Amino acid sequence: MKNLTKVALALSAGAALAVAAPLAAMAHVTIDPGQSDAGSYALITVKVPNESDTEKTNRVQLNLPTDTPFTSVRFVPVPGWDAELVRSELPEPVMIGESEITEAVTSIVWTAQAGSEIGDGALLLLPISLGPVPDVGSVVLTADQTYTDGSVVSWNGTEEGAEKPAPILYVNDAPVDHHGDTATDDDAHGDSDDHASEDEHSDEAAASSGDPVARGLGIAGLVAGLGALVAAFAFRRPATK
């Protein structure tokens, strides 16, 4: 019986890990939505999770491209956070339409007011507008996240599987679905004919897609159920005669 009890406890621990792993993979600075059309003005939200167990996030800097600059950059005020648009001279002049651009907003900096820093388990949402979106395959928006101890985490990885991936705005095309954070309009809303079967089996699609949360919860449910079954046998006493 002791062996069965150990198995049940191990399975329960496995269920917890199955949920924790995909949630940890989501703890990146990202943008939502991650796709926009060329020439449009994209209204996106920068999502900043606090990853430290002991320190708080008190500053966020989103770096904008200088080779394909945005001529219109705006932020939505966030209570408790001061925002600043930083304009800089471009390394080289850039032609946008018939205009030559020599300077542009190259970063947006948010600084927390006293008492508004975000701590463990908190998520900071920073809405912004960028445009016109350049007609390129993707726009990399690196980010620097500063903690109250002075440490800085730079989200600037662009290679596949980067530990600190940079937020990327995909232009015209759908973003690569590494973490299940973004999807195309067809994936989000579905066409009445082509995606009817997908709508009917949405639960199965979520479990089999790249969504780590759905997959993790599904695995956790199976493991937890098996653990409960083993535990039931472990603690059941034989009937007296």
Other Cβ atoms less than 10 A from the Cβ of 206: the count is 15
29-73 confidence digits (pLDDT tens): 999 999 999 999 999 999 999 999 999 999 999 999 999 999 999
Query: 36 φ, ψ to 5°?
Result: -150, 165
pLDDT of residue 238: 52
Write the CA distances from 193 to 42, 97, 187, 189, 203, integer angstroms: 29, 39, 13, 12, 19
pLDDT of residue 221: 52
pLDDT of residue 140: 98
With a cut of 60, say whether residue 125 has pLDDT above it.
Answer: yes
Share of the chain above pLDDT 70, in %: 61
With a cut of 70, say whether residue 193 has pLDDT above it.
Answer: no
Say how far apart CA 154 and CA 111 lie, in whole Å.
Answer: 16
With a cut of 50, say whether residue 148 has pLDDT above it.
Answer: yes
220-241 confidence digits (pLDDT tens): 455 455 454 444 444 455 544 4
Q: How far is CA 9 from the centre of its chain?
A: 32
Say how far apart CA 200 and CA 206 lie, in whole Å.
Answer: 12
pLDDT of residue 177: 58
pLDDT of residue 173: 75
Query: Average pLDDT over the chain, rounded to whole?
Result: 77
Please tell me the chain's helix, strand, coil percentages from 3-state DSSP, rounded to the nearest 5: 25, 35, 40
On whether the 29-175 domain is CATH 1.10.2020.10, my answer is: no
With a cut of 80, say whether residue 214 has pLDDT above it.
Answer: no
With a cut of 60, say whether residue 16 has pLDDT above it.
Answer: no
Residue in the block written with tokens 């600190």: 164
